[in-house]
């Protein structure tokens, strides 16, 4: 099965490289007079790499959060993390106008981390833990953070531009404007090394402790990995909802949740979904583009609804 | 050997465990009994190092439990609680393999695999080893969790109400498995149990708590008497003993 998924992945990658406003003909790559190489290296390849890393990063973030919170409907978009990262980015933009990408990154990351910690603190205080109640609370919490961000943007007269660049969009990804996304690479490696521990984390604090796992420190590492991923994606491509929710749930239905075994499938699935959404976005109103935040939100939203209606356990 | 010294636990101002000192015997089954709110589970959780005592301490072979690291403690004491919130989609075999987590941290050795096989065989789970936990009945689930705890290969097992919500057949199966763990492998089992007849018939030793204090502590024959049980539960009891075992009747008396 992982073979079939890999084949799909390779096909999607090739399709993604071929499609775009600038016609790309493979034979031109051998003709130095054409600018096919430039299109490929300056735009198509960076875009594909950003798509793959973002897709993997978001799917893995979803899975990690779901294990920490022990709820299958949680992901950065339904736990306030995504909105907090946006708020952090906004504040760094207005307070430190000349801020470098790395300081923006740190702001977004710290906000995301703080918001996730607060979210976990809040849901731990709630006695009645209804499965659907937690993501609903998360969405409300996210909306509050989002409205703070909007008010802040309104005060600083950047409301319109904010709405524009915070909607996930890969058309801005070109050489020298996307390299921050590579920070997801070490996150993926660490997540894989910690996969087994994250599964134990998902068994709950008591069971994890009786298996000898340092619960708090492992959860903290997981939250940091999530915050780094969310911050890097928000800065480079904007917010993309639902990938972290749909893919882990689909994989769990079929392959279970022993992460040391299923994490590669989750990662590949996340990348495939995002590339697919991006290709669709590029084709719907060709040669123009629909932002991926819309296509991913649409496709992810529908799949999310189907999952709820099918009653995921 | 577990010893408890002047143990207190209060939640806010409410005392749950008050000045308990005792020594749990090694090898064999010890049942913690008592009415609801007696502090049985609280005591067990403190022994499991999942709950901090308010004062007093617990020692394992003379070493204070609080000075033992969580990772190290998992090699010596395994705990199984009720896990209604457990929602991971794992197969029975995958779950049991996590019993080896304290040793392997994810990379199973041949020895780990042998122990996993042994636990599956011990609890007769071969037929459902590849089934997902959420597809099993409550009894089968409980057997799978017990197998995971057994695979942890600790000298001491702590079980919090392992018979809750089980039918008679599964309850007997679990108690017989625990009996064999003690008799064949020399392990020590401490469990909180509500069914007085299971406690009377399968345990070597019984510790009875009431309102957070130690009420009785002794062998099964010493503790299970009509007078003791009446004092413990405020109910009239008729204790019938014959060579097959012991029956505590508390119906229609």
**What's the gap in Å between the CA of A258 and the closest CA on chain B?**
6
In a mutagenesis test of the B interface, which of A206, A250, A252 is the best target, namely the one with the most B β-carbons within 10 Å?
A: A206
Q: What is the pLDDT of residue A154?
A: 87
Q: 3-class DSSP state for residue A223?
A: helix
pLDDT averaged over every residue in chain A: 86
Mean pLDDT value of segment A9-19: 89
In a mutagenesis test of the A interface, which of B82, B88, B141 is the best target, namely the one with the most A β-carbons within 10 Å?
A: B88
Interface check for B49 against chain A (CB to CB < 8 A): the answer is yes
**What's the gap in Å between the CA of A255 and the closest CA on chain B?**
8
pLDDT digits (tens, 9 = 90+) for A46-71: 889 999 999 999 999 999 999 998 88
Interface check for A199 against chain B (CB to CB < 8 A): the answer is yes
**What's the gap in Å between the CA of A256 and the closest CA on chain B?**
5
pLDDT band at A128, cuts 50/70/90?
A: low
Sequence-distant (≥ 6) Cβ neighbours of residue B45 within 8 angstroms: B51, B81, B160
Nearest by CB to A258, from B85, B90, B102: name it: B90
Higher confidence at residue A25 or residue B13? Answer: B13
Q: Does B90 contact A209 at a Cβ distance shorter than 8 Å? A: no
Q: Does A313 contact B132 at a Cβ distance shorter than 8 Å? A: no
What size, in residues, is chain B?
Answer: 253
pLDDT band at A313, cuts 50/70/90?
A: very low
pLDDT averaged over every residue in chain B: 91
pLDDT band at A129, cuts 50/70/90?
A: low
Interface check for A197 against chain B (CB to CB < 8 A): the answer is yes
pLDDT at A24 exceeding the cut of 90: no
Mean pLDDT value of segment B145-160: 94
Sequence-distant (≥ 6) Cβ neighbours of residue B15 within 8 angstroms: B8, B9, B212
**What's the gap in Å between the CA of A243 and the closest CA on chain B?**
20
pLDDT digits (tens, 9 = 90+) for B11-58: 988 999 999 999 999 889 999 999 998 999 999 999 999 999 999 999
Sign of CA dihedral A16, A19, A20, A26: positive
**Chain-centroid distance, C-alpha A299:** 15
pLDDT digits (tens, 9 = 90+) for A151-186: 888 888 877 777 766 777 777 777 777 888 899 999
Whole-angstrom CA distances from B146 to B126, B141, B173, B210 are 14, 9, 11, 28
| CB contacts < 8 A (A, B) | 75
User: What one-character-per-residue DSSP string does A168-206 give?
Assistant: --STT--TTSSGGGGGHHHHHHHHHHTHHHHHHHTT-HH
Neighboring chain A residues of B132 at a CB cutoff of 8 Å: 256
What is this model's ipTM?
A: 0.87
- Window B:158-217, CB contacts with A under 8 Å: none
pLDDT band at A1, cuts 50/70/90?
A: confident
pLDDT band at A135, cuts 50/70/90?
A: confident
- Window A:66-85, CB contacts with B under 8 Å: 70, 72
pLDDT at A308 exceeding the cut of 80: no
Interface check for B106 against chain A (CB to CB < 8 A): the answer is yes
Cβ–Cβ < 8 Å for A114, A273: no
Q: Does A211 contact B87 at a Cβ distance shorter than 8 Å? A: no
Q: What is the pLDDT of residue A285?
A: 84
pLDDT at A288 exceeding the cut of 60: yes
Neighboring chain A residues of B106 at a CB cutoff of 8 Å: 195-197, 260
Interface check for A97 against chain B (CB to CB < 8 A): the answer is no
Mean pLDDT value of segment A293-312: 81
**What's the gap in Å between the CA of B149 and the closest CA on chain A?**
9
pLDDT at A312 exceeding the cut of 60: no
Nearest by CB to A204, from B73, B85, B101: name it: B85
**What's the gap in Å between the CA of B121 and the closest CA on chain A?**
22
Q: Does A210 contact B48 at a Cβ distance shorter than 8 Å? A: yes
Q: Does A212 contact B101 at a Cβ distance shorter than 8 Å? A: yes
Higher confidence at residue A132 or residue A84? Answer: A84
Q: Does B86 contact A197 at a Cβ distance shorter than 8 Å? A: no
Q: Does B89 contact A313 at a Cβ distance shorter than 8 Å? A: yes
pLDDT digits (tens, 9 = 90+) for B217-250: 999 889 998 899 999 999 999 999 888 889 999 9
Helix (H) and strand (E) counts in chain A? 14, 0
Nearest by CB to B101, from A129, A200, A252: name it: A200
In this prediction, what percent of chain A has a pLDDT beyond 70? 93
Q: Which of A6, A57, A9 is nearest to A272 (CA)?
A: A9
Sequence-distant (≥ 6) Cβ neighbours of residue A216 within 8 angstroms: none
Q: 3-class DSSP state for residue B192?
A: strand
Interface check for B75 against chain A (CB to CB < 8 A): the answer is yes
Q: Does A203 contact B86 at a Cβ distance shorter than 8 Å? A: yes
Q: Does A212 contact B70 at a Cβ distance shorter than 8 Å? A: yes
Q: Which residue of A has its CA nearest to B134?
A: A313
Q: What is the pLDDT of residue A103?
A: 85
CA A150 to CA B198: how far, in whole Å? 63
pLDDT digits (tens, 9 = 90+) for B69-116: 999 999 999 999 987 778 899 999 999 999 999 998 878 899 999 999
CA B247 to CA B227: how far, in whole Å? 15
Neighboring chain A residues of B153 at a CB cutoff of 8 Å: none
């Amino acid at each position: 099965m992982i073979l079939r998924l890999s084949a799909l992945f390779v096909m999607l990658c090739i399709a993604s490289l071929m499609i775009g406003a600038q016609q790309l003909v493979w034979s031109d790559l051998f003709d130095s007079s054409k600018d096919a190489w430039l299109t490929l290296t300056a735009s198509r390849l960076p875009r594909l790499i950003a798509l793959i890393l973002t897709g993997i990063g978001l799917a893995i973030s979803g899975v990690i959060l779901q294990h920490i919170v022990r709820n299958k409907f949680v992901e950065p978009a339904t736990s306030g993390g995504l909105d907090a990262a946006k708020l952090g980015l906004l504040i760094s933009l207005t307070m430190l106008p000349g801020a470098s990408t790395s300081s923006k990154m740190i702001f977004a990351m710290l906000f995301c981390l703080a918001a996730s910690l607060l979210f976990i603190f809040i849901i731990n205080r709630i006695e009645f833990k209804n499965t659907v109640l937690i993501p609903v609370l998360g969405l409300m919490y996210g909306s509050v953070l989002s409205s703070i961000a909007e008010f802040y943007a309104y005060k600083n007269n950047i409301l319109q531009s904010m709405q524009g660049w915070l909607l996930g969009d890969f058309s801005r990804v070109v050489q020298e404007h996307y390299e921050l996304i590579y920070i997801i690479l070490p996150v993926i490696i660490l997540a894989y090394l910690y996969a087994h521990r994250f599964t134990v984390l998902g068994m709950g604090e008591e069971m994890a402790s009786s298996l000898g796992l340092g619960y708090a420190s492992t959860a903290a590492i997981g939250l940091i990995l999530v915050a780094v991923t969310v911050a890097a994606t928000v800065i480079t491509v904007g917010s993309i909802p639902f990938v972290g929710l749909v893919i882990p749930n689909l994989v769990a239905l079929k392959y279970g949740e022993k992460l040391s075994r299923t994490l590669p499938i989750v990662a590949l699935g996340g990348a495939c979904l995002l590339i697919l959404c991006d290709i669709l976005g590029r084709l719907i109103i060709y040669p123009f583009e629909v932002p991926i935040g819309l296509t991913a939100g649409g496709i992810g939203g529908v799949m999310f609804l189907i999952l709820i209606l099918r009653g995921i356990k | 050997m577990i010893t408890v010294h002047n143990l207190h636990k209060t939640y806010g101002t409410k005392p749950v465990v008050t000045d308990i000192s005792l020594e749990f015997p090694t090898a064999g089954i010890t049942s913690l009994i008592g009415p609801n709110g007696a502090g049985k589970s609280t005591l067990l959780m403190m022994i499991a190092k999942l709950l901090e005592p308010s004062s007093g301490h617990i020692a394992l072979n003379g070493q204070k439990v609080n000075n033992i690291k969580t990772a190290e403690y998992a090699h010596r004491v395994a705990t199984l609680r009720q896990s209604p919130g457990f929602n991971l989609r794992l197969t029975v075999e995958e779950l049991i393999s996590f019993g080896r987590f304290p040793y392997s941290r994810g990379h199973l050795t041949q020895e780990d695999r042998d122990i996993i096989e042994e636990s599956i065989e011990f609890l007769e789970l071969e037929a459902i080893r590849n089934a997902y936990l959420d597809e099993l009945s409550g009894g089968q689930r409980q057997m799978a969790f017990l197998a995971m705890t057994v695979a942890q290969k600790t000298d001491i097992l702590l079980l919090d109400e392992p018979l809750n919500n089980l039918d008679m057949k599964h309850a007997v199966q679990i108690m017989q498995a625990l009996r064999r763990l003690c008799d064949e492998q020399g392990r020590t089992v401490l469990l909180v149990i509500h069914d007085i007849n299971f406690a009377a018939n399968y345990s070597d030793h019984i510790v009875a708590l009431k309102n957070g204090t130690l009420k009785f502590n002794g062998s099964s024959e010493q503790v299970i008497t009509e007078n003791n049980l009446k004092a413990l539960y405020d109910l009239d009891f008729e204790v019938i003993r014959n060579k097959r075992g012991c029956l505590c009747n508390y119906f229609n008396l």
